[in-house]
Amino acid sequence: MKKIPLIIDCDPGVDDSYALALANSSELLDLIAITPVEGNVSSDLTRRNVLGLCDLLNIDCRVGFGAEKPLFNPWYRNAAGVHGSTGVGTVEFGEIKKQPDPQPAWEVIYEEAVRHSGELVLMAVGPLTNIATCLRLHPDLPKHLKRFIIMGGGTFGNVTNTSKTAEFNIWVDPLAASEVFSQLEVWMVGLNATHAAAVEMTDFDEMVAICGDAPGAYVLRELSAFSKKNCMENGHDNNVIHDALAVASLIDPEVVGFDHHYVYVEHSGDAPNFGQTVIDFDGTSGKAPNCHVAMRVDQPRFVRMLKDMCRWYAEK
């Protein structure tokens, strides 16, 4: 069966790293490009992490470097507290061999969208700065995409210092998110879904055991041990492997259930709900639905997929 061509725009990030590993291990997906953006950590680290993960996970694809800062967010701060100072927990890369593409993220995305017109799935699991930039330069991008999926937004927030209702990826660049939601049909895997698919501590223990000392599973062993330890020590939602659920929703439609609603992003800087994905559940806006909102998950099915992924790398 023909594989689905996939580009992942991301800000690794521990959960972004799981997402890249899951996509790379799926027989249904052809990961043709990864485009790092600023987000969890600064762009120099997200760029380095993508190149290093390509080496250690044996991912052969284009890497187009993206934005170094949001289109607009004077309050931006990183999430190193959740992901560790490097952004990828305790994973160490040593000398990185992978080289970036000469083209920037937005040109890699557009080139591949045209090359795979009508078949490409574009997935964004970080702030939407690169996607908005691509749309500003290439307004015909939507007609080339088969599907656009994000990990972001949702029915509640996780950014506490300036907005109680914003999810981090949207909050980092709400202007970009607003422009993206107004031009693309979005499949939104938000916090309500990712938290419902939270991974239990015992599941992390089993994932570490499956990885064992296999060299191919080094990244996943480190990520899983870090996620469990960080979550137990700091109470972060680190047992929520947010970004991997977005990939899982593409691999297996049974894992995530979506409902169709109109959604807009609040991007005015002085709004109390700055960065919120405002979901019109009852149609009061009178506007046509533009977003498939993840509302149901099969958590055991998702966790089985993560363990199978660990097994795949351990046996390589």
Question: Which residues of this chain interact with Ca ion, rule CB under 5 A?
Answer: 11, 13, 16, 125-126, 243
Q: Are 167 and 273 in contact (CB under 8 A)?
A: no
Nearer to ligand RIB, 15 or 179 (CB): 15
The CB-of-258 to ligand RIB minimum distance in angstroms stands at 18
Nearest to 299 by CA among 264, 256, 270: 256
Nearest to 77 by CA among 137, 160, 147, 16: 160
| Cα separations in angstroms, 97 against 55, 56, 63, 94, 153 | 7, 10, 13, 9, 35
Report the residue from 40, 73, 78, 227 that binds ligand RIB according to the rule CB under 6 A.
40
Residue 173 binds ligand RIB (CB under 6 A): no
Nearer to ligand RIB, 7 or 314 (CB): 7
Dist CA 225 CA 54 (whole Å)? 20
Choose the binding region for ligand RIB from 9-17, 68-76, 106-114, 223-231 (rule: CB under 6 A): 9-17
Binder of residue 267, out of ligand RIB, Ca ion, none (CB less than 5 to 8 A by kind): none
Nearer to Ca ion, 64 or 126 (CB): 126
Nearer to ligand RIB, 168 or 187 (CB): 168
Q: Which two tokens stand for residue 108?
A: 């890699």
From the candidates 116, 144, 195, 242, which is the catalytic residue? Answer: 242
Residue with tokens 């061999």: 97
Q: Is 242 among the residues known to form the active site?
A: yes
The CB-of-314 to ligand RIB minimum distance in angstroms stands at 24
Nearer to ligand RIB, 133 or 158 (CB): 158
Nearest to 166 by CA among 124, 130, 127, 122: 127
Angle made by CA atoms 109, 159, 230, in degrees to the nearest 5: 90
Residue 169 binds ligand RIB (CB under 6 A): yes
Q: Among residue numbers 98 through 127, which ones bind ligand RIB (CB under 6 A)?
A: 125-126
Q: Are 91 and 23 in contact (CB under 8 A)?
A: no
Report the residue from 38, 167, 179, 266 that binds ligand RIB according to the rule CB under 6 A.
167
Dist CA 50 CA 312 (whole Å)? 20
Binder of residue 167, out of Ca ion, ligand RIB, none (CB less than 5 to 8 A by kind): ligand RIB
Q: Are 205 and 228 in contact (CB under 8 A)?
A: yes
Q: Which residues bind ligand RIB (CB under 6 A)?
A: 11, 13, 15-16, 39-40, 79, 125-126, 151, 158, 167-169, 242-243
Q: Return the active site residues.
A: 242
